[in-house]
Amino acid sequence: MRRSLHLSWDQFHADTRTLAQRLAERGGFSAIAAVARGGLFPAGVIARELGIRVIETICVVSYHEDTTRGEIAVLKSLSEDILARPPQEVLIVDDLVDTGNTARVVKAQLPGAYFATIYAKPLGLPLVDAYVREIPQDTWIYFPWDTGLSFQEPIGARNSR
């Protein structure tokens, strides 16, 4: 049985700010490497909260047609500027670590960097330095940028047909 979790913008923002607070307590970051695309959203919030002005992307694709996991492909690597920094000053940000395959590829490009995600599933959890919520492995997360607002028919109306 596959479960699903639908996140609102408010919940995602609150969880991201919780992560930012934990990262602020650690401190020492001079740059963020956002894993595009999902990591772009929390990276912007975290950069604001921590006062970080250098934000780089690493572009990785691992899902195809939204729900099918495929081969990991790096579409854009990290810049020389980021790679030249002391790795402990670079914060890698993603929205979710699932199986850990993407995290392994990203961490291989920048060993020693601090890896933070908002959500973590058990298979990917050992690769993450900081996260906010653990999510069961069999749960598909619908992020707010993946969904839209629409009318929801009342439950009673559906049951009366």
pLDDT at 66: 55
Structural domains in the chain (count) = 1
Which CATH number fits the domain that encloses residue 61?
3.40.50.2020
Give the three-class secondary structure for 135: coil
Domain that holds residue 35: 3-145
Q: What angle (nearest 5°) sits at the alpha carbon of residue 138, between those of residues 92 and 151?
A: 90
Q: Which of 4-8, 37-41, 106-110, 144-148 has the lowest mean pLDDT?
A: 144-148
The catalytic site residues sit at 94-95, 98
- According to DSSP, residue 87 is labeled G
Q: Is residue 41 part of a domain?
A: yes
pLDDT digits (tens, 9 = 90+) for 22-80: 999 999 999 999 999 999 999 999 999 999 999 999 999 876 555 556 688 999 999 99
Q: Is residue 80 part of a domain?
A: yes
> Mean pLDDT over all residues of the chain?
92
- Dist CA 148 CA 151 (whole Å): 10
Percentage of the residues of the chain whose pLDDT score is greater than 90: 81
Give the three-class secondary structure for 10: helix
Q: Is residue 155 part of a domain?
A: no
**Helix, strand, coil shares, percent, the chain, to 5:** 35, 30, 35
Signed CA dihedral, 23, 29, 35, 36: sign only? positive
